[in-house]
Amino acid sequence: MKTVLLAGGLGTRISEETQLKPKPMVEIGGIPILVHIMRCYAAHQFTRFVVALGYKGEVVKDYFLNYHLRTSDLAIDLGTGKVDYSRRVAEDLAVELVDTGDKSMTGGRLHRLESRLRPHGTFMLTYGDGVSDVDITALVAFHRRHGKLATVTAVRPAARFGTMAFDGERVASFKEKPQASEGWINGGFFVFEPGVFDYLRGDDTVLEQDPLEKLARDGQLMAYKHQGFWQPMDTVRDRDVLNDLWRSGQAPWVRTK
């Protein structure tokens, strides 16, 4: 199963970092948050990723193109140009880096990936700027059981995000970032069936507006309620919180064996 990581936004609320790099490349403990997110999935044996690039996508490409160079010790023969890698960090990850447009919205980026995803059936998607200790294995099992087109992971953070109302486990209504909100909100970590593409229209499609709202009205959007850790990185303060957790050695999103 492939996992889409949305990594193309401007990240205007953390502009101190994003003038030179896209937000998913902001580092937590010296590692881009994008890689932290990949490891959250890889801990559950989901290792195939499609990264939807936009703003400064070349920075992401450069990072992964030179991944072994960055994470290994090198011995270089200057006469022949031969490079030997030692202390190589081997991670069993397959990463597709796809330009989905500088100005595409979230649903527009997903729409551009249809030909890469639809033939493979069920896929996952999340934002490239937040980490969680959500049980991905249980999330996928929940999605398989209910048989609907879409699952969103619902979380309980501060009330500055969008809200969802439920009828049991079915999402009865979905509203992104209202003026005032409390309770459960969209935490990303979606699971989708290919039928979701029928709700997308083009680059201007905002996934969190018409598509998810219509899925909810059609009874096709279910909520996996996650009571554990979830933390977005919208601001410098958020970045500092995550770095403090990393330095403490008790980062909740890191799965220890």
For the ranges 43-57, 77-91, 175-189, the one whose mean pLDDT is highest: 43-57
The string of pLDDT tens digits covering residues 20-58 is 889 999 999 999 999 999 999 999 999 999 999 999 999
Q: Is pLDDT larger for residue 88 or for residue 212?
A: 212
- 110-144 pLDDT, tens digit per residue, is 999 999 999 999 999 999 999 999 999 999 999 99
Residue 180 reports pLDDT greater than 70: no
Instruction: List, in order of start, the domains of the chain with CATH numbers.
Output: 2-247 (3.90.550.10)
pLDDT digits (tens, 9 = 90+) for 183-222: 789 999 999 999 999 999 999 999 999 999 999 999 999 9
pLDDT at residue 5, rounded to an integer: 98
3-state secondary structure the chain: CEEEEEECCCCHHHHHHHCCCCHHHCEECCEEHHHHHHHHHHCCCCCEEEEEECCCHHHHHHHHHCHHHHHCEEEECCCCCCEEEECCCCCCCEEEEEECCCCCCHHHHHHHCHHHHHHHCCEEEEECCEEECCCHHHHHHHHHHHCCCEEEEEECCCCCCCEEEEECCEEEEEECCCCCCCCCEECCCEEECHHHHHHCCCCCCCCCCHHHHHHHHCCCEEEEECCCCEEECCCHHHHHHHHHHHHHCCCCCCCCC
